[in-house]
Amino acid sequence: MTIHRIRNALALTAILAAGISTPVLAEPQTRLVDCEAGSCLLVTGRRGDAGSVVRINGHAVAAQGGRQWRVSLPVETLRDWSAPYARTITVSVADMPSQATLPIGLLGHVNNLDHLVVRMK
């Protein structure tokens, strides 16, 4: 009976330890915001050390905040740093790269969108 309790306690400890470390490893998030430059991409994330360097597509950026950081990047700068029609950016924290999904169509070149049809299945 005690072997089962020990095994359950160890399993629970492993699950809790994995849950606690997950926010540090969480993928960065992106969204479009208004800024002085017009439109900016707000990139947010978490890092284990507040002094870790944050890079977007290989470029070091000045991140605001500590462990919960944020970077506001003008869309024009993002266009210069990204491939045409890119759907993701590479965000590196302490030289550990991850991919962040861009808002749909952000780096696309839609000139005249007449209408958009959405259908339910």
- Residue that has been written with the tokens 């005690």 in this structure: 2
The span from the CA of 33 to the CA of 2, in Å, is 56
Residue 118: the pLDDT is 83
pLDDT in tens, the chain (121 residues): 577 677 666 666 666 555 554 444 578 999 999 999 899 999 999 999 999 999 999 999 999 999 999 999 999 999 999 998 999 999 999 999 999 999 988 887 656 666 677 888 8
Whether residue 96 lies inside any domain: the answer is yes
Per-residue 3-state assignment (H helix, E strand, C coil) for 77-102: HHHHHCCCCCCEEEEEECCEEEEEEC
Residue 68: the pLDDT is 96
Domain, as residue range, for 65 = 24-101
Instruction: Supply the CATH number for residue 65's domain.
Output: 2.60.40
Residue 21: the pLDDT is 46
Count of domains observed in the chain: 1
The residues, ordered by sequence, that sit 6+ positions from 26 with a Cβ below 8 Å of its Cβ are 45, 46
Among the listed residues 90, 28, 120, the one whose alpha carbon sits nearest the alpha carbon of residue 65: 28
Residue 23: the pLDDT is 47
